[in-house]
Chains A and B, each alone.
Chain A
Amino acid sequence: MLNWLGFERRVAVRFLREGRMQTVLIIVGVAAGVAVVAYISALITGLQRNTLEKTLGAQAHVTVSALDDVVLPARPPVAGSTALVQTQPRVQRPRSIANWQSLVPVLEAMPAVAAVSPMVSGAGLAQRGEASKSIALMGVDLDRYDRIVRLRSKVVQGEARLGPGEGIIGRELAEDLGVRVGDRISLVTGTITDSLRVTALVDLGVRELNRRTVIVPLRAAQSLVGLPGGATGLDLALVDVWVAQRLASDLSQRFPYKIESWQEANSQLVSALNAQSVSTALIRGVVMVVVVLGIASVLVVSVVQKQREIGILRAIGATRGQMLRVFLLQGAIVGALGSTLGVLLAVGLIKAFTTFVRGSDGLPLFAITLAPSLALTVAGIATVCGVLAAVAPARRAAALDPAQAIRM
């Protein structure tokens, strides 16, 4: 509708134009606020996504393993009495998940689950010549495991392949042992020794992991660890990483296994992310309050300055509602213009960040982009804030007694 708020629009725009300096200052103020909020939101979103990708790229979202061995009391305590018992915690020996072969298809059928990979893990030594390094041994099915951690994309040399007698090792471990692709190394676990040929070197993103990781076929690991036919854990990748916690608690109620989400395995990371989110929200809130106060104070001054004009308009027939809307509209216009400018400013800041802040390899540290939905949300909220900020001044303008205002 072309004439919708025609009078209010004309007067609001004219009042703002008349107030030049005030208007420019407050629009710049809103723009600065919006830019800060949009930039911080984009930065934190990018940072968190990057951190999560790095973390979750190298591990399962949910892991299933056998319950810990616990000491059972020799006899049930008698009601009303206290037993003073001193117990030695039991040794956690490698144990297989009972019935894991039939559990895999059950888990795979769940809509939230993207992939399931059985694994056998244990400790051992890798030896070559004089060198002997302690390692974390993982036995996996390559195709399944690839769907969990995208192992193939992490290969830095050679070609990922896990045939019988073959293995994939971390880049640093290869350096320590002086191994190239195609060379053989010996693995020792307890009393068993096996040898494998290295088919590929991988970079898992963490140096310490690279120094310890040896990946072998499931069967090889089963015999090295001494669990024929067994699996010490099942790794799950999920469609949405944020349902991990709920899924894990669901599964623990249904199955007698120890089930851990990535959040439980990385509780420090999760609390760091939460702290980040909370401080971002705080900053956003404070900036929003400052923006609202800024708009409100400028409009309050404007109402006082324009008392006479408001009185004239009322005398020649403007209703209270019209005066109210004139000032609400000014708030909305200031909010909308300011947030448009602010979003552009944020885009500039982000460009500057990705151009000038670079990692040691010369590439941007991580990708931050201002998602259009985020920009729209921030701009929308700023405009709504503009209207809210205008409520008190607008009511004041509407309540002005025209007879008194004209006498000014």
Chain B
Amino acid sequence: MSPSTLGDAARSSRATSPNPLLRRILVTLALLGAVVGLEFAFDTLVPDAALQQLVLFALVNVVVALSLNVINGMAGQFSIGHAGFVGIGAYTAAIVAGHIHKALGADDILFSNSFIVMPAAILAAGAVAAIFGFVVGLPSLRLRGDYLAIVTLGFAEIFRLVIATAQTGGDVEGPVAQFLAYLGGQNGYAGPDRNGVPQYAGPFWIFGAAVVAVIIAWRLKFSGWGRALRALREDEIATASVGVDPTRYKVTSFVIAATGAGIAGAMLASMRNGNPTVQPDQFTFAYSFDAITMVILGGSGSVSGAIVGGVFVTFTVKMIEQLQRFESVQALQAAYPALDLNALRMVVYASVLIGLMILRPEGIFGERELFRRKPRQRVSHAPPEPVPARTEVEANPENETGPFTGKADK
């Protein structure tokens, strides 16, 4: 290899050149304009209330899938308790939003006030979920595979059951028990005055959260950090052998994923026209399982996949519920009272999953992305010219390329 080709290789290094500042500002403004526009145009664009709900819920699920993708897809850990983090975020945000709303004194949910309530709720939900993510992430240093899955599942179920089974009536003693009673047990938390969690998260906040989550997930994946995380998934010993500390990267990935899930939870708790009560039943294993389905169906490690998976799973689940509107389905249900459409949902769901895993075990996208710029055409994808074996290459330190070049490619 001549020095000139070396120079070519160096010149065409594929690091993206920094965005000109102006372009960045314009893109940011355009995105901001789009989400602000959606806040006001959403009712016109999507007139059906049920569909509105569905779209917003799908976006929250996209955030959940993107965050789970960091652990399950990129880092290759297997967490099946993601609903726990979402739940922690939801409860935290509901408490914070409820109290701030009360302090603001306005009865109506004003868009202007959402700029006070939502940032506080998001920060609190993200921070509390991050702390739990750190604690749950620690066992991942010693456990892997099924064992780690059990720990994460256990965490999520403990969180849910502690809240669901707390004593709420009668005399409750002790600060912890009183706090749990305040959370409302099985009936859920409905704000400080029990008149519902204020629903400040309109299209602006939920679309905004989804956009930011996509940008962050993308940037994480295509950074040295994401690369190291994917290396860790492939081979932990080899990763450590090149100076990357698995401990730090694993725990960080858990913290980031939990933060994302917590923020999704904040959106869920405050969703406009959503459930005004945060209930433990929203965060059962079924929801964790939905999140895993979104990631695996879309393609583990793929940002595009998490988006598609999140939307697809949300709509599939809801579509089966919507089927009940049809008269023929209602007649069928009347004829066969045992027919449980919710149970049928699981059957359809499972069939889709099984089919996909047979046809495309790596998910819709695999680890690839929808809009990933191809590497420059520096690399010819034709097989390299066969080089005749030259075993007599002299070892010569002056020769920059050394005896590795020209070796027969076996």
Q: Are A and B bound to each other?
A: no
Residues of A within 8 A of B (CB): none
